[in-house]
Structure 1
Amino acid sequence: MQESTTSFVNIAAYKFITFEGLEALRPQYQEICAALGLKGTILLTPEGINLFLSGTRTHIDQFLAWVRSDARFADLEVKESYSAEQSHKRMLVKIKKEIITMRMPLIQPELGRAPAVSPRDLKRWLDQGHDDAGKPVVMVDTRNAFEVDVGTFDNTIDYRIEKFTEFPQVIAANREALADKTVVTFCTGGIRCEKAAIHMQKIGYDSVYQLEGGILKYFEEVGGAHYTGDCFVFDYRTALTPELQPSVTVQCFACRAVVTPRQQLDPRYVYEVSCPQCSQRITSVT
């Protein structure tokens, strides 16, 4: 994908690693982001870093050079997309307990990951209908239900979870149904499926992979093959197409549901108040 001369660069990156001294580091991250005019969110946690940032090409590159000067993040990998505006409206640097909340302290990606499958190899598996060992491939979405509704891989198993902390229980309950299959977990950028795949290994899944780089890396490398819809993202763009362009959907301020262009014409869609989905639920209750 080619960058426009007037576009902003949007990056997503994370790394699981023991990370200490967060209270002292937070103002340093705040200072450089302010100096470079970056917008977005950075999570500093004892298990590593997670960031979503938007800025000019020059300023994003300067920020990444600064982060990678810390030896712990010298190999930090990023996923990029472009937009005419900055994809976030403010800059937040937060200290959290986990990069993504799972409440499973024994899951420590820093100590070893589950096997990963590259986007190109996954497409090949899906093209041929099985992995390289001849086992059927099953895609498991680790995202929340409202994200899945925006788009997902074809024939994906979707457990309709409302938050990631529900995933360990639901995947344990379905282990027998997935026996003798190669399971590929995936999410937006790789964080959730990285934890999910490790947990699945620990509870007895013998053939489980995570999609390297998540949906966004898959879009970047192979496009939308075997994928229907867009990919929800947590910024003003709401969702990205397989071409990594902002989709024409919006997100309801009240219930977080994705509202399509047709639904935006519905009188029940009121900006920052309601949409057809939550308006219907309110009507049913009353």
Structure 2
Amino acid sequence: MERNKIGNHIRIKRKSFPHVRLAFSQFVSTLRQPNVDGETEGWMCCGQTFSRRSDINKHVGTTHAATVATCALKLGQMQGHQTDPISSDGDNTIKSAHCGCCHGHDCYHSSCFSGRCNESQKPLFWTVERCLVNSCDATDTSLDDLRSGLLHPLLPDSLHDMTRKEGVVLLFYYYCDLADPWVAKLWQVNLCKHLGLTGKVRLATEGINGTVGGSVEAARLYMEATMAYPPFRGMTSQDFKRSAGGTECFQELRVGVYQELVPLGIDPCLVSYKDAGPYLTPVEFHEEVARLLEAPKGSNAPLLLDCRNFYESMIGRFLGSVTPNIRKFSYFPEYVEKNLVLFCSRRVLMYCTGGIRCERASAFLRSKGVCTEVWQLHGGIHRYLDVFPNGFFCGKLFVFDERYAIASNERVIGACNHCAKPWDQYNLCTTPGCRQLVLACTSCQTEGHTVCCRVCRAKGASQALINGEHLREECECTKSRERVPLEAEGGTSLWSDEILLKQITESMKSTPFKEDSFK
């Protein structure tokens, strides 16, 4: 009820109370979604897109009234003609700063906030965002952080090298206690747009998970800024996995707040990253896999578990691994429950793309209390391939962007869906509205085999509809798939081929691992 009162107050007083009007307009400006020409295309907030200014104003006034009110109060206090530069009294009130270039008047230069005053005045938006951040829990951002300018360390003169053609894609995550992910979202949106990055970033009370693409210089500045943000100060450069790419690898920039960093489908309070299994470095994991492949097979033998989806393991996986035939990570808990006997009294070594899924998956598996040990590959397949490009991982590494896969060796384990020819390059089903991935070789594509199933082929070029809604993640053909399979006794190990293992062993003898790439 109190929140509604504040919201009503803002809507009524916005035009007559300058601090509220300014805070309100600047808050809305942080939600703007520009088009390619830099013009306003709409506003995005709380997972919704608004095309009219009146609609976004109504949404902010109703849903984010408390935050706007806090910003307005802070702005009013900052303009209270205090004499101390950004100081704090008993209630952590930010006071106005004075500097020489402002001739004693109240100063809101971003450089003055960071102790570096110059003649270039920044928009008051920077001040408003500092108020937004300061309104969150004290464990996130302190006044010292505001004073040091960590929220916006990047100025236009830092962006001298953004037009270089050479690009990179960053893959990263960091688990931590993030008191107010909505504030972090505003910061991430502004940071990525400032650097010209595209990609996807997920924020939750348990941290950050993302993949972004851009120029090498933009990526470097992004890493520095993210590692400097107070809640993420525990991050290091090794938390960012790099691969060749750029802004073209993503259609747009999407930053959102979710309940989970990765959708396991269980409340993070019930299955926490803090209970995850211990790490194995790529070198340690490599040695473990070598011993596993040489060990006699049996019900109590160590188990190498792929925590990814079936379409990922179809084109690349570790030799001798169990690859669950599931299409979503949220099915993993059900897979474990259905195949609990598979894990009883066994030592489990698990892996995924970059490591984030193993954090929660290992915590869930450990909570079952049936395994003797549960270990996870630190940095995932991505980091392993940095050290062992010709190791025990066969095929390509699936990635969730327009590239679909990246390769470190020439082995092909995938097959064309139509002729079974070795093939591992995914394309989207060509039926409008369908988002299924299709493995179709060049010859089959030429013959018109570019759809995921007979249902989509029958639809042809017509719009794919079910109950009036566009197909997105699932097609009718997915209904014929078993949601969660029951593994055979001992688990499936599709790639224990002795000839392939011999080839890998010979290849590794001639190609020593890149130990320095993990330092």
TM-score by length of 2: 0.48
Residue number among 446, 451, 458 corresponding to 1:265 in the alignment:
446
Describe the shift of the 1:281–1:264 C-alpha distance in structure 2 as closer, same or farther (beyond 3 A). same
Deviations 1:89-125, CA, capped at 9 Å, x for gaps: 211111111111112221111x343111111111112
2:282 is the alignment partner of 1:107: no
Distance 1:140 1:241, change over 3 A: same
Q: Percent identity?
A: 23
Paired residue for 1:126, among 289, 292, 296?
A: 289
Instruction: Tell me the equivalent position of 1:251.
Output: 427
SS at 2:290 equivalent: helix
The question of 1:278 aligning with 2:278 is answered no
- Distance, in Å, in 2 between the alignment partners of 1:220 and 1:82 is 13
| 1:243 Cα deviation from its structure 2 partner | 5.4
- Aligned twin of 1:231: 397
RMSD of aligned alpha carbons: 2.7
Quick one: which amino acid aligns to residue 168 of structure 1? P
Q: Does 1:31 align with 2:199?
A: no
Cα pair distance change 1:44/1:85, threshold 3 Å:
closer
- Summarize deviations over 1:138-182 as a string: whole Å, max 9, x none: 211111112221211122212211212221122133233333432
SS across alignment from 2:178: coil
In the alignment, does 2:219 pair up with 1:60?
yes
Matched with 2:325 is: 160
1:15 Cα offset (Å): 1.1
TM-score (norm. length: structure 1) = 0.85
2:382 to 216, 222, 231: 216
Q: Which has the higher helix share?
A: 2
Aligned counterpart for 1:192 among listed residues 357, 370, 373: 357
Residue 86 of structure 1 is matched in structure 2 by 248
Distance (Å, rounded) in 1 between the aligned partners of 2:199 and 2:275: 29
**Residues 23/72 of structure 1: CA separation in 2 closer, same or farther (3 Å cut):** closer
Find the partner of 1:11 among 170, 177, 185. 170
- Aligned 8 A contact 2:214 2:246 in 1: no
1:137 corresponds to: 302
The alpha-carbon deviation at position 188 of structure 1 amounts to 1.0
* Structure 1 pair 258–221 and aligned structure 2 pair: CA distance change class (3 A): farther
SS at match of 1:20: coil
1:47 pairs with 203, 206, 209, which one?
Answer: 206
Q: Structure 1: which 5+ runs fail to align? A: 270-274
Distance in 2 between the 1:171 and 1:224 partners?
31
State the shift of 1:79 in Å. Answer: 0.6
| Aligned partners of 1:10 and 1:86 also within 8 Å | no
Say which SS state the counterpart of residue 129 (structure 1) adopts: helix
Q: Give me the whole-angstrom Cα distance separating, in 2, the residues matched to 1:83 and 1:150.
A: 20
- What secondary structure does 1:235 align onto? coil
Q: Larger strand proportion, structure 1 or 2?
A: 1
Which residue type is aligned with residue 453 of structure 2? C
* Partner in structure 1 of residue 316 of structure 2: 151
Q: Is the 8 A contact 1:220 1:243 kept in 2?
A: no
Unaligned runs of 5+ in 2: 1-163, 411-422, 459-475, 478-519
Q: C-alpha separation between the residues in 2 aligned to 1:191 and 1:18?
A: 16
Distance 1:131 1:174, change over 3 A: farther
- Amino acid in the other structure paired with 2:224: A
2:230 aligns with 71
Shift of residue 206 of structure 1? Answer: 2.0
Write the distance in 1 (CA, Å) between the matches of 2:272 and 2:286: 28
User: 2:339 corresponds to which residue?
Assistant: 174
Distance 1:84 1:198, change over 3 A: closer
Deviation at 1:128, TM superposition (A): 2.9
SS at match of 1:209: strand
Which structure: larger Rg? 2
Distance 1:122 1:98 in 2: 27
